[in-house]
Amino acid sequence: MRKILNVIFIATLLICFNCIEEIELETQDFESVLVVEGTITNAFKFQEIKLSRTYLLEGNEQKLENNANVQILDNQGNLYTFTQNLEGVYVSNIEFEAVPNMGYTLNITTSNGKQYKSTETKLTPISQIDSLYVEYNEGEENEVQILVDSDNAPNGAKYFRYEYEETSKVIVPYYSNFNAIVTNVVDNLIEFEYEIVLVDKTEEQRICYTTNSSFEIIQTSTTQFDNNTVNRFPVRTIDKENSVLRERYSILVKQYSQSLEAYNFYKIIHDLSVSESLLSENQPGYVIGNLISINDNVEKIVGYFDVASVSSEKTIF
């Protein structure tokens, strides 16, 4: 009897710990929806609008929206046209800047003739980064923080989004002046032979630089503060053991002053993206922005057209 119970117990353990099937996630009721990423600023430059399409959950490649007609019209009748580059980004044909008290409308016509437009959007209050600095936290976290201060009492700006671009110097720890070349390969199905030849490197490869841009949504607001000041806001947090800090490191931070509508849109997107589990109650869904379809008033369109003031400051340490 004991032997039978032991067999049952072992069999139960095998079922519990070994009979696990992988769940293959598949998209149900897929809709190909236009995705718009567009922020023009008060910086005099070639402005950019990104167009793409939603793609299947089991897909692994972004679907770009090609050959669209993209224009921005201001409320004084000035028209700014855009041309697509190789990266799926539509770039303005001339440099221009958003100016205060001017309304801007984004108009898009896709290659299949469908038309989309944004609501009229105006430039947000101009705000500057007062200081950008680094502090080392010697507590349990053992981390380095990039912090931002910004006094917005004079301009009334309350909602902010941040982007950064960081560059680090990399020195290969175990470096050789030779390249290993595999040659004289013999594979006759019976034996496999080869020779390794060391040849001098023709260029310096020990030192290089890597540049990465932020991809997460980084936002804050000052609505909970009486003095309307961004104080010690952590734009970037880095573990002290991270290799990007080993040699030299620099970071360029951009601060966008946002409207309440833009802030709420990105906040919802962020809240959906940080859900702990795809199967949790917080399910990704359709988030309404400020763009509509002219041809079909029930057609979904994802994204937001933003006109934001921007400021930047660079620190190297």
Residue carrying structure tokens 């809240």: 271
Instruction: Compute how many other C-beta atoms are within 10 angstroms of the C-beta atom of residue 308.
Output: 26
Instruction: Compute how many other C-beta atoms are within 10 angstroms of the C-beta atom of residue 177.
Output: 10
113-131 pLDDT, tens per residue? 999 999 999 999 999 999 9
Radius of gyration of the chain (CA): 27
31-57 pLDDT, tens per residue? 788 999 999 999 999 999 999 998 766
Structure tokens at 209: 């630089």
Residue carrying structure tokens 């057609």: 299
Whether the predicted pLDDT of 283 surpasses 80: no
Label residue 263 by pLDDT band (50, 70, 90).
very high
Query: Rounded to an integer, what distance in angstroms lies between the CA atom of residue 54 and that of residue 202?
Result: 45
Residue carrying structure tokens 């804050």: 220
Query: Which residues neighbour 62 within 8 Å (Cβ) at sequence distance 6 or greater?
Result: 52, 55, 88
The pLDDT, as a whole number, for residue 279 is: 47
E strand spans, the chain: 34-41, 48-53, 63-64, 69-74, 79-84, 89-92, 103-109, 115-118, 121-122, 131-137, 143-151, 159-171, 178-187, 192-200, 207-213, 218-221, 229-239, 249-258, 291-293, 301-316
Question: Domain 26-124+281-308's class?
Answer: mainly beta
What does the pLDDT average to over 289-294? 94
Query: Rounded to an integer, what distance in angstroms lies between the CA atom of residue 107 and that of residue 294?
Result: 10
177-201 pLDDT, tens per residue? 888 888 888 877 777 888 898 888 8
The whole-model pTM stands at 0.78
